[in-house]
């Protein structure tokens, strides 16, 4: 999972058949991600299933 300045901010594990919204919800709920997105608006969320979640703030 990436947040902010394209640095890896954490890792999450989800089921292989999880839908995109479930993946986004788990990524946004991660405690480390919360530190970087607190009080900022999430502009965009990019999901590459099986690979990465990129959160643009």
Reported as a single tens digit per residue, the pLDDT across 5-50 is: 667 878 899 998 999 999 999 999 998 888 888 888 999 999 998 8
Identify the structural domains of the chain with CATH numbers, from first to last.
Answer: 2-56 (3.10.20.590)
CA distances from 15 to 11, 19, 41, 57 (A): 14, 9, 27, 26
DSSP secondary structure letters along 1-57: -EETTTEE-------TT--HHHHHHHHHH-HHHHHHHTTS---EEEEETTTEEEEE-
In this prediction the pTM is 0.78
């Amino acid at each position: 999972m990436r947040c902010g300045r394209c640095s890896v901010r954490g890792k999450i594990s989800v089921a292989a058949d999880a839908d995109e919204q479930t993946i986004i919800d788990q990524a946004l709920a991660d405690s480390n991600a919360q530190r970087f997105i607190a009080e900022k608006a999430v502009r965009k969320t990019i999901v590459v299933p099986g690979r990465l979640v990129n959160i643009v703030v």
